[in-house]
Chains A and B, each alone.
Chain A
Amino acid sequence: MEKTVNQKAWFLVLPVLVLVAFSAVIPLMTVVNYSVQDTFGQNQFFWAGLEWFEEMLRSDRMWDALGRQLMFSGIILAIEIPLGIFVALNMPKSGFWASFCLVLMSLPLLIPWNVVGTIWQIFGRVDIGLLGYTLDALGVNYNYTQDTIAAWITIIVMDVWHWTSLVALLAYAGLKSIPDAYYQAAKIDQASRWKVFRYIELPKMMGVLMIAILLRFMDSFMIYTEPFVVTGGGPGNATTLLSIDLVKMALGQFDLGPAAAFSLMYFLVILLISWVFYTVMVNLDKKGM
């Protein structure tokens, strides 16, 4: 079969190229521009080469923030994924209560980030917050503005409250797609509840769980608003996650060069981890776990 060559076809790609250029490439290049230059205001720039990157790689500040960030993402994934699966397994499969649960579960997802932060900020306050006051009344030493552990627990519980629903909804969708025959066959084969989960439900949920883990990882790794509203990165720097630190550096101290270098590395780390995760999961999937 003869192939027709028509270079005009490139024009069809143009809209998406323009869109991506304005939404991603140009802003990113601006950041790249800042990262290799120094500025003293009045739009005067001096070439700095890779100096900012070297400085950032040597600074404890960024490594500490990265460590806290990894810990935060690790903890919330370790809680939200199993909890989401557990919730999905126990949700009604059909009828009124199924719809009811779905709506109920979606509620936290519909609340704006800064509102979630505010809710928990007030909820946890020892003087007026229901949670803080109750805990205090019970004699528990809870004060997220002063105690590192309390601050961490607060932002982790907040994230779990906010996002477990997403994992649960995705897992639920995965579960719903399993034909009844699988459960019937398992009954005939006398499979235990655990084996049904391990050999039927989990493999069938793998696809959506991968998406859930990826989404939750990326989102939590970039989290800013909620912990910023609740703890502002404190006490001290205890909950200063990467993005909070970045904003402090870029807007608080107006160190544009280091902040630009920081954000590029930040971006590359997310990209790298997501890519590694995705590749590993896809390979596992091919081998059939």
Chain B
Amino acid sequence: MAKITLDNLAHSYLPKPTSEEDFALKELNHDWDDGAAYALLGSSGCGKSTLLNIISGLLHPSQGRILFDGKDVTHAPTAERNIAQVFQFPVVYDTMSVHDNLAFPLRNRGRDEAYVAERVNEIARMIGMEDMLRRKARGLTADAKQKISLGRGMVRKDVNALLFDEPLTVIDPHMKWELRTQLKKLHHDFGHTMIYVTHDQTEALTFADKVVVMYDGRVVQIGTPEELFERPEHTFVGYFIGSPGMNVFPAKVDGRRAYIDGTALELGRGYRPLDGKVEIGVRPEFARLSQSEGLPVTVRRVEDVGRHKIIRAEFFGHDINIIAGEDDHISADMNRVTFDAAHVNVYADDWRVPGEAA
């Protein structure tokens, strides 16, 4: 296991990138702590798979360095990095038995059979496939195949990190939960550094200690699920995480007040004058429908999703979502909205402005 350091890393698929636009992965400095579980979250094409492939060595970056425990491996081939990767589509060697699949990486490295047998049995126990070892890998279910690819990765004792590239895409929904739980348990028991790429926020938030949110080739925020929820550093994070995502409105901010279409709104913190595109963001969870207080809003419809209600409304010409408790009564004369001032975030050019507490 190792700490993985990305130093000034960037990648472009073009031979001679000129502008920043040409980079699929924009310049990035980051340490992946030894033994932590990370999720790389972002929409399709945001560069997360590029980043993963650079770490695994399947791709060589256009600039910057990758260090494993301080050792430069930027140009080292995949095999030398001792990483394991689980791909989107299960990769198993169809013609081999489950046992031989698991033994394959060890045999390729010339380990003796006694050691191989011991490790394979150990891994089979970890992934719960002891009774299937003699079976051919062909014809197994997708989740069993994914477990085999995971096991093939973990069978090596010296593995530095386990990388997952959207591993649950082809798994049945009820098995997803089970596999994710098992993965989390494996991480807990054995402490491998894990990096998990996904575009599914539930997967990311339940799996990882820290979630790395990527947008347009850039890491926009690294944080715990709680931080991502309460203090999205970028409007994309606010919008991408949460269901529904954060409400964002253009506003003018002056000191402790924000003005939307000239109407004032109290903020929890004070702000210096801001340049560029200024917006405020409020999660639907921190907005509340009211009869008498707050700003005017026009309710369009109410969706009851079971554990809570989502109110779709119009607010100064913008769409707004408000979450109300399942038991909250919503009447026709509720045409005002209030925000929890402590959870109203201010954004300048899409990036969060910290503000001054006072």
Contacts and interface: CB of A to CB of B under 8 A. Distances in A.
A137 interface: no
Contact of B87 (A185, A195, A199): A185
Given A182-B91, A184-B58, A199-B95, A189 B104 contact: yes
A93 B212 CA distance: 35
Nearest to B110: A190
A289 B95 contact: yes
A61 interface: no
Nearest to A191: B108
Interface string A258-289: 00000000000000000000000000000111
A121 to B, nearest CB: 45
Contact of B94 (A185, A188, A190, A288): A288
Contacts of A181: 87-89, 91
A188 B84 contact: yes
B95 A288 contact: yes
Interface string A182-205: 101101111110010001100110
B165 to A, nearest CB: 8
Given A181-B88, A199-B95, A203-B95, A187 B138 contact: no
Task: Determine the interface band of chain A, counting residues with CB < 8 A from chain B.
Answer: 10 to 19
A189 B150 CA distance: 12
A41 interface: no
A190 B96 CA distance: 16
A252 interface: no
Most buried by A among B58, B78, B84, B91: B91
Nearest to B100: A199
A179 interface: yes
Contacts of B88: 181
A200 B91 CA distance: 10
Contact of A188 (B56, B93, B95, B96): B56
B183 to A, nearest CB: 18
Contacts of A203: 93-95
Most buried by B among A188, A192, A203, A288: A188
Interface string B71-91: 000000111000111011101
A204 B84 CA distance: 23
Nearest to A198: B95
A248 B89 CA distance: 58
A282 to B, nearest CB: 14
B108 A188 contact: no
A188 B104 CA distance: 11
Interface in B99-123: 104-105, 108-109
Given A181-B88, A185-B87, A190 B109 contact: yes
A187 B80 CA distance: 10
A185 B79 CA distance: 10
Contact of A189 (B87, B89, B108, B138): B108
Given A184-B87, A288-B94, 12 more contacts: A184-B78, A185-B85, A185-B87, A188-B56, A188-B83, A188-B105, A189-B105, A189-B108, A190-B79, A199-B95, A199-B96, A200-B93
Interface of B: 56, 58, 77-79, 83-85, 87-89, 91, 93-96, 104-105, 108-109, 136, 138, 149, 152-153
Chain A to chain B: the 6 pairs with minimum beta-carbon distance, closest first = A181-B87, A185-B91, A288-B136, A189-B105, A190-B108, A190-B79
